[in-house]
Amino acid sequence: MGSYQAQSRRGEASLAAGRPLIVIGITNPQTCLVMTGRLRALRQAGFRVVLIASPGALLESTARKEGVAALPIPMRRGIEPLADIVSLLRLVRALRRLRPQMTEFSTPKAGLLGSIASLLCRVPCRIYVLRGLRLETARGITRQVLTATEKIAAACSHIVLCNSPSLRSKALDLRIAGAEKLHLLGYGSSNGVDVQRFAPGPRAREAAIAWSKGEQIIGFVGRLTCDKGIPELLRAFDAVLDRQAKARLLLVGWFDESEDALDPELREWIKRHPRIWCTGFVPDTAPWYRMMDFLVLPTHREGLPNVVLEAAAAGLPVVTTTATGACDAVLPGVTGLLTPKGDPRSLTDAMMELLEDAGRRKQMGAAARRWVVEHFPQERVHARTVQWYRELVEGREGKSAALSITDAAAATD
C-alpha cells in the first residue's frame, strides 16, 4: 500500500498547472501496446495527461516514452467484488485529487470502475471507449453480468466512443446505449497505424528461425487464446498441410492467462508441432510481418483489430472472420478474405486460395497498403481525436469530427 501511495503522489506532483487535464484509464498495462503515440498526441495538443492502469513495467515505460504521468491503481481483470470495491475507492480518491476536465476509461474493468468513479466525482466530460465486447463470447450468467457492466459504464458516461462501425451496431443492438450516445470517429480505430514503421520491406530472417526455399509462411499476431480462434487455426493449418506440405505457421504471440486461455494440451501441441514457430511475447512486431506471406486472424470478437491494419500497412493480405470489428478491417476480395467465425473448413479454403495464387497475394497486399495509408494513418486518427476532445472540453458538441455510422458507410463506398 505504501509503495502504491508513493507512486500515486509522484504521478500527481509531476503535473503542471494551467492546461486541461485528461485522465485515461485501462485495466491492464498490456493495453499500453495499442496506445503508443496517442498519449503523446494529446500532450502535444495541450492536454495534461495521466495514465491509470494496474502497476507494471509497461505502464511505467509507456508513460516515460509518451511523456505523461503514470498513476498505478491495481485492478483485477476478473469479477472479484471486494477487490473491485477497493479499486473503485482508489479511483474516486485519485479523481478527487486530480479534478480532471475529462476522463477516458476503456477495457471492461477499468471502463466500469472508472466510469462510476468519474460520475461520483462529477467529472465534466466522461468518455467510455468501447474497444470490444467481451460478452460476445461469454455464456449464461457471465454474459448477463458482462452485459450489465457495459450498460452501467455507458450510463455513467456522456459519450461511448466505439472502435468500429460494426461494434457500434452491435452495441446498439444489445442496447448498451442509445444511438445519441454511441459515437464513431472517422472509419474507427482508437490509435491508427504507424504506416512508416509497419511498411513493406525485405524479409528479415530472425536468427532463431530458419526455413527452406519455397516454404510459405502463414502468420498470426496476438494473444494465443480461444477467442482469437487459435483452436480453429490449428485444425485448419493441419488440413492445409495435407494439401501444401511446405506451409509453415508463425505464431507471434503469447499464451495469455485469461478467461479464454488455451487448454494445456493445445499449448503442448503447438510447442511440439514441427511446422509451427511460436515466438512468445515480442516488444516489436513490425519485423515479423515482413516474414509472412499473409496474416490470418480467425477471431471471434474484436473492436477493430490493430494487427489486421498493421499487416495491411506492411503490404500483406489478411484472412479474418465476419466477427464484430474484424469485418471492418478488410475489404472482402480486395485487401483480404472473410470467413465465418468458428469454421475451420472455410478457413482452410481461404488460406489455400492465397497460398496457391502468389499474384493475387501481391495484388491484395498492395491494395491493403493503399487502403490503410488512406484511412488509418496514425497522424490522421490522432488529429481527429485531439480536435474532438478539444471541442468537448470547450463545451462544444464536437459533431464536426464525429461521423455517424451512416456517414462512415457512405465514406467507405
pLDDT in tens, 98-110: 999 999 999 999 9
Distances from the Cα of 104 to the Cα of 26, 92, 119, 159, 243, angstroms: 9, 14, 12, 10, 49
- Hey, what's the cell of 118? 468519474
- Hey, what's the cell of 17? 498547472
Whether 210 has a pLDDT exceeding 80, the answer reads: no
Distances from the Cα of 236 to the Cα of 11, 178, 344, angstroms: 48, 39, 5
pLDDT in tens, 372-385: 999 999 999 999 99
Among 277, 281, 330, 300, which Cα is nearest to 229's?
A: 300
Q: Which residues pair with 22 in a beta bridge?
A: 49, 102
Q: Which of the two residues, 155 and 18, has the higher pLDDT score?
A: 155
Note the pLDDT of residue 208. Answer: 53
38 within 8 A of 191, measured Cβ to Cβ: yes
- Average pLDDT, integer, range 312-322: 98
Note the pLDDT of residue 68. Answer: 97
Whether 396 has a pLDDT exceeding 90, the answer reads: no
Whether 22 has a pLDDT exceeding 60, the answer reads: yes
215 within 8 A of 330, measured Cβ to Cβ: no
Return d(Cα 209, Cα 288) in angstroms, integer. Answer: 11
- Hey, what's the cell of 293? 506471406
How does strand 125-130 pair with strand 48-53? unpaired
DSSP category for residue 247: E
Q: What is the mean pLDDT of the chain?
A: 89
**pTM exceeds 0.75:** yes
Among 41, 112, 37, which Cα is nearest to 79's?
A: 112
- Hey, what's the cell of 286? 513490425
> Taking phi first (over 0 means left), then psi (-120 to 50 degrees means alpha), and beta for anything else, what does residue 51 get?
beta
300 within 8 A of 321, measured Cβ to Cβ: yes
Among 242, 231, 194, 234, which Cα is nearest to 218's?
A: 234
Whether 19 has a pLDDT exceeding 90, the answer reads: no
Return d(Cα 29, Cα 146) in angstroms, integer. Answer: 21
Among 22, 119, 128, which Cα is nearest to 69's?
A: 22
In order of start, what are the domains of the chain with their CATH numbers? 2-192+378-412 (3.40.50.2000), 216-375 (3.40.50.2000)
Residues of the chain above pLDDT 70, percent:
89
Among 37, 135, 153, 133, which Cα is nearest to 91's?
A: 153
Distances from the Cα of 120 to the Cα of 27, 182, 299, 380, angstroms: 19, 22, 36, 34
Whether 330 has a pLDDT exceeding 70, the answer reads: yes
Return d(Cα 142, Cα 36) in angstroms, integer. Answer: 32
Please, what sign has the CA dihedral across residues 134, 36, 127, 182? negative
Return d(Cα 203, Cα 262) in angstroms, integer. Answer: 30
Note the pLDDT of residue 79. Answer: 80
Note the pLDDT of residue 205. Answer: 56
β-sheet with 276-278: strand ranges across: 276-278, 247-252, 216-221, 294-297, 318-321, 336-339
Angle at 384 between CA 382 and CA 386, to 5 degrees: 65
Note the pLDDT of residue 42. Answer: 96
